[in-house]
Structure 1
Amino acid sequence: MSITPFRLFRCGPAFQRRHLSTSAARHSPGYDSTIRNLRIDKNTRATANARDTIAYGTNIVGGVSPGKGDSTHLDLPVLNTVHEAMWVVKPHVSAVFVPAQFAAKAIIESIEAEVPLVVSVAEHIPVHDMLRVHEILRTQSKTRLVGPNCPGIIAPEQCRVGIMPYKQYKKGSIGIVSKSGTLSYEAVGATTSAGLGQSIVLGMGGDLLPGTTLADGLSLFFEDEETKGIIVIGEIGGEAELRAADLIREYRKSTRHPKPIVAMVAGKTAPHGRTMGHAGAVLTSRDVPAEIKARALGDAGAVIVPHPGVMGETMKKLLES
């Protein structure tokens, strides 16, 4: 049987500015309220690309593959639609594994079914399609989108929703939000080596219109009791880092004992006009250079490091002090 294009998970009690990279949904208080849906935990359940996910400990309830309903895969039910899945298995997370040209339709189907969390890993979803997705997102307060073009979201040793190489992840106290999947893996390795582990690792994604931004990830970690320190990884393209800096500044002013924040911005030597891996990672004459973004984060109170390899030891020293 072919792999199903969605994975469906069920979670436990934890679920009770100018540039295109700015999420249109950020202007909607209703959508902002769905940030809490990012708090996945050990009770999260799932199918499709599921063997590793099952081995990791994620509980899977079924999958969706149009035309293959009333069948099973890995001894789990396969449904024809997300609406049917919501009725039968009541998932809390839908992971969308379909090609870019079909991904927006799959995301919208999950939003219409009011799945609390949707994760899309596809790269290069047409911008016009994502504009439609954001128009829908900002009219509702039930569903939170992670991605597209990201490795997903993981609560180490509890729940994996995505494609990240999970074996180096360890349950711990550091929250990581990153535009770059590869650099987030480096930060994970560094914090694991330092004995800190991770609470949640969240991929913002590198496409032009992300469903969840660096600032959204920060908002989650500021309130999360399991998160004692925060890592932010940005890169060229867009202004998400500047919005993150604004939020860090507000947080540090309003909190008596703020959590330490370590940050870096990749792309300081990137040439103008050349896309650097991600669709949104391109430096044009209209974009803010990486140095300016890093300076903004530093001025806001984050400790700036040159590369993710030193993030673990840097964070450890900050926590000890």
Structure 2
Amino acid sequence: MAIFLTKESKVLVQGMTGGEGMKHTRRMLAADTDVVGGVNPRKAGLVVDIGDRRLPVFGSVAAGVGSTGADVCVVLVPPAHVRSAVTEAVDAGIGLAVVVTEGVPVHDTVAFTDHARRRGTRVVGPNCPGLITPGQSDAGIIPADITKPGPIGLVSKSGTLTYELMHELRDTGFSTCVGIGGDPVVGTTHIDCLQAFEDDPDTRLIVLIGEIGGDAEERAAAYIRDHVTKPVVAYIAGFTAPEGRTMGHAGAIVSGSSGTATAKKAALEAAGVRVGSTPTETARLAEGVLGGLQG
């Protein structure tokens, strides 16, 4: 089992013919992702050879869906074009849109995530590495060779910390790893993933990675307390960050105690979550909890 992405998922890449699009399409194919084509209105009709695959380029998402039955799109277009790309995918009936692009204007994200929500499309991102169900499919830019299938579900704001925890827990493995992105507005939240992992029978433990800024982790803690029965282990990045600064893509300015790493840690621990002080300690906590479940 997995959440959001399986071996049956058929993926279109919006921006496939660009440099980044070609690179990451090649990597997705190497991970056994069923990439069925790309979308570029200026290059419709082109066929791109990648390895032993010949991938058609469609002039629109609707044309790609109609021809291939695609149900997932990976968006690798410049920030100014993301809103129209996601809107087009939603209107074409795509069920999952993975927006890797960073630097998307927040008002654009608000518009396309609202449109997607009303039409029943899940958006992951923007400014995210995407998601991977090891051994089945990889939609985005997450390295596929640093872990294996297993019983842990991972949800993370940070792309690089997603990779680090995947590597730290590579001997145990994951059901699905989701990098939700750290922008102020994202399409899929910690809570969305917590709910999906709670419902997934093959996910036995959840690892949550957060960052300073905003209140997403505090809201996740409240959800865990009230709705999650599976064990959760967490890591919060930013304990040494100066207060009052916007740090990287944390998504908000830290003010007072709201949004600080200490406040987030306290909220999660009050909900019964074990919180590691480093990624390595978090991984060891996860292994210990999982070992107790198996024992």
Q: Give yes or no for contact 1:155–1:199 (8 Å, CA) kept in 2.
A: yes
Letter in 1 for 2:124: V
* Alignment match of 1:214 (pick from 183, 187, 190): 190
Q: Give yes or no for contact 1:238–1:288 (8 Å, CA) kept in 2.
A: yes
CA deviation after TM superposition for structure 1 residue 288, in Å: 2.4
d(CA) in 2 for partners of 1:50, 1:43: 17
Q: Deviations over 1:141-165 (max 9, x none)?
A: 2x10000011000001211111122
Q: Give yes or no for contact 1:191–1:311 (8 Å, CA) kept in 2.
A: no
What is the match of residue 108 of structure 1? 87
> Which is further off, 94-103 or 129-138?
129-138
Give the SS at the match of 1:173. strand
RCO (CA 8 Å, sep 6+): is it higher in 1 or 2? 1
Letter in 1 for 2:137: C
Give the SS at the match of 1:166. coil
CA deviation after TM superposition for structure 1 residue 44, in Å: 2.7
What is the match of residue 143 of structure 2? 165
Q: Unaligned stretches of 5+ in structure 1?
A: 1-13, 15-35, 253-257
Aligned length: 278
Residues 108-147 of structure 1: matches in 2 within 5 Å? 108-141=87-120, 143-147=121-125
Moved segments of 4+, more than 4 Å? none
Q: Unaligned stretches of 5+ in structure 2?
A: 17-23
d(CA) in 1 for partners of 2:236, 2:161: 10
Residues 218-237 of structure 1: matches in 2 within 5 Å? 218-237=194-213
Letter in 2 for 1:268: F
What is the match of residue 33 of structure 1? none
What is the match of residue 189 of structure 1? 167
Residues 144-293 of structure 1: matches in 2 within 5 Å? 144-192=122-170, 195-252=171-228, 258-278=229-249, 280=251, 282-285=253-256, 287-293=258-264
Letter in 2 for 1:98: V
CA 1:213–1:45 in 2, change beyond 3 Å: closer, same or farther? same
d(CA) in 2 for partners of 1:282, 1:99: 26
What is the match of residue 4 of structure 1? none
What is the match of residue 8 of structure 1? none
CA deviation after TM superposition for structure 1 residue 281, in Å: 5.3
What is the match of residue 32 of structure 2? 57
Report the TM-score, using the length of structure 1 for normalisation. 0.82
d(CA) in 2 for partners of 1:165, 1:320: 26
* Alignment match of 1:67 (pick from 42, 54, 59): 42
CA deviation after TM superposition for structure 1 residue 279, in Å: 5.9
Give the SS at the match of 2:10. coil
What is the match of residue 305 of structure 1? 276
Aligned CA RMSD, in angstroms, stands at 1.8
d(CA) in 1 for partners of 2:78, 2:255: 28
> Which is further off, 170-179 or 269-278?
269-278
> Which is further off, 306-315 or 78-87?
306-315
What is the match of residue 9 of structure 2? 44
Report the TM-score, using the length of structure 2 for normalisation. 0.89
Indicate the percent of aligned positions where both proteins have the same amino acid. 40
Q: Deviations over 1:213-245 (max 9, x none)?
A: 111110110011121110001111111101111
Letter in 2 for 1:44: S
